Every structure is written in structure tokens, then in C-alpha cells.
Amino acid sequence: MNMCSSSRCYQDFLAPRREELSNFMWASRQINPQIAYKQPTRPSPQYHKDQVLKSPKIQELLSELSQRQNVSKDVLEAQIKNILDEIGYNKKLKVIRWIGLVLVKICNKVCSGIYINEDAIVQLKSRMGNCPVIFVPSHRSYADFILMSLMCFTEDLAIPAIAAGMDFHGMWGMGTMLRDTGAFFMRRSYNDDSLYWTTFKQYIYQIVTKGELPVEFFVEGTRSRSNKSLAPKYGLILMILKAFFLSQVPDILFVPINISYDRILEEKLFAFELLGIPKPKETTSGFFKSLSIVKEKYGAIYFDIAKPISAKEFFGPVLDRSVHNLRPLHQQEITEEEKKLVPKLAHEIVYRQQKHCVITTFNLLAIVLHNNLIKGKDLLNVEEIIEEIVWLKGIVEALGGFVCIDNVQKNVLDALEVHQNIVTLTSDGKVTLVSNEIVLDKANITKLKGHELSEKTITLSVPFMMLQIYINPVLHYFVDVAVLVLILKNHERAALDELFGHYRFLRALLSQEFITFNAREKMEFDAALDRGINLKLIATDEELYKLGENKKLEETVSNCIDCFIFTYSVVCSVLLQNASRVIAETTILARVQAEVETMISEEKGFIHPYSLSLDTISNCLSILASQKVLTRSRNKNSIFYEIDAAQVLSVRSRLEQYGGPRQVLEGRVDSIQLHLKNKL
């Protein structure tokens, strides 16, 4: 089955599997996959470990540690072998085939299709073979790396060596199975363990320079619980680039991939985690319990493979690799100048992931329902929802997004069925949120990461958190025009320079929330202004800018970012209440949640439950620290902030220009809370 529009075309790679009498022949077929980087002889997983151990880098470290610690070199070498056994991937084709067979059975049961832009696969294959290839998918679910391997197996691409966290390593049976399909394991922290740290870096260097497989890692570092892009991490990408900076490979191709889900496997778990209720530990028994998903529907999954980024082309003449010719190769490290080049590449990868996001019917349905609920208006029936989605689809496409809708009525009915755990039809055919009373067990309460929210608050919040998870992927298309609307709502008219000044402040403040990179700032501002004018959100009056006539869209985009501005204002207020001392991050998180919960319980107006999100509060603290408003420090496993009261007050004062907490409260009608109670 194909799904095409004027701009993109996808094929369902599950479709041929559904037509087969048995998938066994497909899983056991002879395969000759396209490898990433041709080597003189095919390296085995054990070969890589042996080469790391023999490398001058490791041998020199062994001699140094042996002398310094007065420990036999053989003892240290045994430790490195153990570390390599912990890290190293394996490759067993028989295991890969059986897992491929099982995955196809499960996916056929729960998915309506897994779609991929096949043209991009053809183009990618034509560029593979001459240099290392790095797959960099977005990370929204544990299913990402499993589905990536299934996609590669189906498309005859070599299954990559995949960077996986140690939480999987300890799962009985699962760790071994994942290793046998190409996973290599990395610790989250190294605690100044130079032996582990150097061994791991050398292992990455080995599989990049001498490996034939693609390497796969998540540049965001962890799953995004909010379903928004996270700020990229630089550690692993630096290790990978070392081979290029040291001229040991001719080039490196980074392949950004966006994986979009109709329904995310962990959606309810994420809603709880955002409220501070921690995820359960990964266990094998937990994994088998999760297989109960086969009783539910998860809709479609979309793989959109972006144009690969060549490191050679990206860095171009800026890079001077001759500096590495002065000393022996194994003594070379990445220079400070080279490190400064990496953030731009990391952000470009995230940027391309975002631009290749597939917006689904439910993403738009979530926005429509969200707008209706927080405005306190009458609920919409299916026909009215469809009308709103058609309108919203045109808006998202005008803002540069891709919406995958081919038959809007069927797609809406399918979305309502897939997401019946979040949305439901009332007895009179209106669409609203599902609300179930939530009771926490004592084990969960003792592990809370924030304030101990009441069960009443959690019951109200969870449906909104789950709904917001599906709104969030659309927000990077809305945020720039929404910021301009927010400014002009509170500053009636503004000259271009004044408007850009306000925009810079707000986008910098929200840069962890909605990932942006300073180098793109002016370009994104200009594009947002043009789009705002074209959509009649913004009008010009002589050389001044003001709000346009499109009040419906103005309200929609404002509703999408109001809760973030509100939360940031509350964070500043809480910080000012504690401005005289250094305070633990966990304390701030709890106090902000407590403050928001109090406002919700006062029922003086609608406070969006997403303002309780620890993700948003943490993003605010992180950006304030990067702007030197807070001074961040770490003591053992805890993070602390020293508060500069004058600077926090300045940020809060500026935020109040755009509608701080009190203005948000006053701007909402008192009937909204009652409306929600009745509907939920």
C-alpha cells in the first residue's frame, strides 16, 4: 500500500508480509545486505574486541596504570577483556531471522502499516560502501531500535551496531538477545573510571574505522517522554567524529531518521513520568507482560529518512586536520576547535529529524479537542471535528509540516478507535477525553521525583498529559509564529527591530523546550514573520507590525504555548521565594508542582495540567543555568542551583509582559473547571 502526496511518498513494508501464506520463507531468505563501509576482510565482533585490546592506545594505558597502581598488567588486561565483553555487540543471523519473524507477526497484529520513503532507501544504498554510515533516528519509544533493525532487515541493509543503555544489559535473556542482534552497551556514567572510559572510546573508534556495519545511536541520548525533540548530546557524536578528524576515514555519513507513531507504546507511562511518578525498572517479566499490547491497535508507524549529512561537506574548509600530523596517531585527541564544530552538526541532525516528522490525524485531533476543552466550549461531534482537522491540516502544511491524511473521514474514525483509551464519544456523539480514577500504590509514592500530588490532581492531569504528548510533535511548526503572536498580543504594535528583540528573548528562553540553534535564529524569525503575514496572523501598519484578522488561528497557536510561558513564570516565582540560598533541583521541582497544584485546586480559572510537567520545569532550570541566571553545581548524585535573585526577577518581569500566571488566570472564564468536571 502506498501513501503519497505532492511532497512525499511512502510504501508500507508490511504489505507484502500480509499477502504471504507464511512469513517463514521471507525470514529465512538468502540475504546479501548493503554494508556501510567495505573492508579488505570481513571483521567479526570478536575481531573488534581483539583489536581494541591490542591497540597502542590501550597498551600504553595498561603500562601507565600498572606502574601507577602497582598492579600486574595481566590483571588490568583481564579487566579490559571483561569491559569489552560487557560493551561489545554480537551478530547471530539465526537470532535475527527468528526475531524478524516474531516482529512481523506482532506488527501485523497491532499496526495498520509501517511506512517508509523507499526512494530515500534507494538513494542511501547508492551512497553506502565507501565510508562509515551512522543512522541517527529520533527516540520516542523503546520500539525505535527494534523497528529500525526490522526496517534494515526488510530493506536489505546491514543491521547496525546499536548503542544501547545498560538498563537492557541486565535484563535476563533480553540483554543477550539484543547483543546477538547488534546492540553494544554503554554505561550512563563512568565515575572517572579511566579504564572503562578509554576502552569504550577505543571500541567506538574501532567499529567506525574498521567496521563494515552502520552504527546507530540516538543523538538525544534518551527517549523523549514529551514526544518533542530533546537537545542533542555531544558525547557519542564526538567519539564517532574522532575517526574523521584524525583522517582515518575519508568521510562519515550521518543519516537523520524520523520515526513517527500514530500511538506510542509507552504513552501512559510517559504521562506518569512527566508528573514525577517514575517508570518501573526494566525486567524480562515486565517485557513479557508488555506483550499484552497485541490485544490493542497502534495504527501506523512512519519512517522518514532524511538526506544524509556528509561530515566532509558539512565541515568543509573550516576544518584543519593537519594539526593531527605532529604526534603519533594513538596520542591524538580531538582539539578544542574541533569540539566547537560539533554542536552545529548535532543540531542539524535534530533539525532534519523535525522537518521529516509525519503529522498524523490524531496529532491534529488532539489540538482540536485541546482547544475546545480549555476554552470551555461545547464539545464537537465527529463531523465538526473533521471540519476542524481539514482547516488545521492546511495551516500545518502552510507552516512547512507534512500531514499524512488521505481519507479524512476514515482517518478520523480510525484515530478514534486506535486512541479510545484517551478519547471517547459521549452518549450524544460528542468527542471528549477519557478520565479514569487513578489510585497510586505506596511503592510509587515513595519514589516520586517531585511533589506528592493528590490522586484527584493526578486523575485530572493524566488525560491532559496524554493528549499533550500528541500535540507536542506539531509545536515546532507553530512555535515561531506563536511567539510573534504572543508578543503582539501584549505590545499592540512593534517595529521590526523591537519585534526581533522580543522574539530573541522568548526563543532563547524556550530553546530547550522547542529546540533551536542560534545560527538559525534570524532565518527562523524571517520565515515566521512571512508565514504569519501570509496566514493573516500578523498585519503591517506602515512600518509597524500588529495582530492580523485570523483570530481563530491566533487563539489556536496561543493555546499551544500558553502553558509553557505560564510554567516558566511559576518557576521564576518559586525561585524568588528561595533566593537566599543554594537549593536542590528536586526541591525546586517539588515546590513548583505544589504551587501549580494549589492554583488548580483554587479553581479561580483554568490552569493547564501540563504545567505540572517535570520535563518543562527541568527545561526552564536548564536554560536559566545556561544563561547564568542560576549557577548549577553537582554534589554526589544531586544537582543544586545558586539563585541570582536580581536576574530571576528580571526574567520574571519580562515574562509578565507576555502574560504571567495572574494574567493567564484572569484571562480564563471561571466556568472552565466546572465544564471539565462535567465532561471528564
| Segment 120-137 mean pLDDT | 97
Locate all alpha helices (DSSP H) within 7-136, ordered by sequence: 15-19, 24-27, 45-54, 56-69, 73-87, 93-110, 118-127
Confidence (pLDDT) at 27: 94
- Cβ contact 358:402 at 8 Å: yes
Q: Which helix (H) or strand (E) holds 464?
A: helix 455-490
**159 to each of 62, 123, 162, 195, 333, how far by Cα in Å?**
33, 17, 9, 29, 29
Q: In sequence order, what DSSP letters do the residues of 468-507 get, joined into one string? A: HHHHHHHHHHHHHHHHHHHHHHHSS-EEHHHHHHHHHHHH
Shared-domain flag, residues 259 and 395: no
Shared-domain flag, residues 250 and 383: no
pLDDT over 50 at 587, yes or no: yes
pLDDT over 80 at 650, yes or no: yes
**Cβ neighbours for 462, distance < 8 A, ≥ 6 positions apart:** 268, 271, 272, 275, 438
Confidence (pLDDT) at 464: 94
d(CA 444, CA 149): 34
For 355, the grid coordinates are: 522537518
Domain end, chosen from 308, 324, 356, is at: 356
User: Which tens digits make up the pLDDT trace of 49-72?
Assistant: 999 999 999 999 999 999 998 999
Confidence (pLDDT) at 55: 95
Residue 54 counted as domain residue: yes
pLDDT over 60 at 669, yes or no: no
Shared-domain flag, residues 160 and 228: yes
User: Which tens digits make up the pLDDT trace of 20-32?
Assistant: 999 999 999 999 9
Q: Which helix (H) or strand (E) holds 147?
A: helix 143-154
Provide the pLDDT confidence category of residue 144 given band limits of 50, 70 and 90.
very high
- Region of residue 247 (left: phi > 0; alpha: psi -120 to 50; beta: else): left
| Segment 251-272 mean pLDDT | 95
- Cβ contact 499:449 at 8 Å: no
pLDDT over 60 at 678, yes or no: no
User: Which tens digits make up the pLDDT trace of 446-467?
Assistant: 678 899 999 899 999 999 999 9
Domain end, chosen from 385, 406, 428, is at: 428
pLDDT over 90 at 398, yes or no: yes
Confidence (pLDDT) at 675: 44
CA geometry: angle at 200 spanning 199 and 201, to 5°?
95
Confidence (pLDDT) at 635: 85
List phi, psi (to 5°) of 613: -65, 120
Residue 333 counted as domain residue: yes
Confidence (pLDDT) at 283: 46
Half-sphere CA count of 436, side-chain side, radius 13 A:
10
Shared-domain flag, residues 52 and 158: yes
| Segment 252-264 mean pLDDT | 97
For 324, the grid coordinates are: 593531527
Shared-domain flag, residues 226 and 195: yes
| Segment 20-45 mean pLDDT | 94
**604 to each of 560, 586, 665, how far by Cα in Å?**
21, 28, 7
Shared-domain flag, residues 373 and 333: no
Shared-domain flag, residues 138 and 16: yes
| Segment 113-130 mean pLDDT | 96
Confidence (pLDDT) at 282: 45
Shared-domain flag, residues 207 and 110: yes
User: Which tens digits make up the pLDDT trace of 283-303?
Assistant: 444 444 444 566 789 999 999
- Cβ contact 555:574 at 8 Å: no
Q: In sequence order, what DSSP letters do the residues of 367-405 get, joined into one string? A: HHHHHHHHHTPPPPBHHHHHHHHHHHHHHHHHTT-EE--
d(CA 257, CA 304): 6
User: Which tens digits make up the pLDDT trace of 497-555?
Assistant: 999 999 999 999 999 999 988 788 999 999 999 999 999 999 998 889 999 999 999 99
Q: Which residue has the cell 483554568?
A: 606
pLDDT over 80 at 427, yes or no: yes
| Segment 271-288 mean pLDDT | 67
- Per this entry, what is the length of the chain? 680
Q: What is the mean pLDDT of the chain?
A: 89
Shared-domain flag, residues 218 and 365: no
pLDDT over 70 at 660, yes or no: no
Residue 288 counted as domain residue: no
Domain end, chosen from 428, 450, 467, is at: 428
- Cβ contact 38:129 at 8 Å: yes
Shared-domain flag, residues 162 and 227: yes
Shared-domain flag, residues 127 and 240: yes
State the residue range of the domain holding 409: 361-428
| Segment 175-197 mean pLDDT | 83
User: Which tens digits make up the pLDDT trace of 301-327?
Assistant: 999 999 999 999 999 888 877 778 777
CA torsion angle for 278, 283, 286, 287 (degrees, to 10)?
A: 120
Which of 650, 659, 370 minimizes the C-alpha distance to 488? 659
Residue 447 counted as domain residue: no
Confidence (pLDDT) at 231: 94
d(CA 617, CA 571): 7
Confidence (pLDDT) at 599: 92
Q: How many domains does the chain have?
A: 2
Confidence (pLDDT) at 10: 93
| Segment 152-167 mean pLDDT | 91
Confidence (pLDDT) at 605: 77
Residue 43 counted as domain residue: yes
Q: In sequence order, what DSSP letters do the residues of 211-249 get, joined into one string? A: --S-EE--TTSS--TTSSPPPPP-HHHHHHHHHHHTTSS
Ranking 205-209, 352-356, 601-605, 637-641 by mean pLDDT, the lowest is 601-605
Looking up residue 172, the CATH number of its domain turns out to be 3.40.1130
CA geometry: angle at 311 spanning 309 and 313, to 5°?
80
pLDDT over 90 at 471, yes or no: yes
Amino acid letter, residue 513: E
The residues with which 303 forms a beta bridge, in sequence order, are 116, 259
- Cβ contact 416:361 at 8 Å: no
pLDDT over 70 at 47, yes or no: yes
Residue 584 counted as domain residue: no
Residue 650 counted as domain residue: no
pLDDT over 70 at 177, yes or no: yes
The residues with which 541 forms a beta bridge, in sequence order, are 544
Ranking 410-414, 533-537, 656-660 by mean pLDDT, the lowest is 656-660
pLDDT over 80 at 668, yes or no: no
Residue 325 counted as domain residue: yes
pLDDT over 50 at 667, yes or no: no
In sequence order, what E strands does 248-327 have? 253-261, 299-305, 309-310
Shared-domain flag, residues 383 and 410: yes
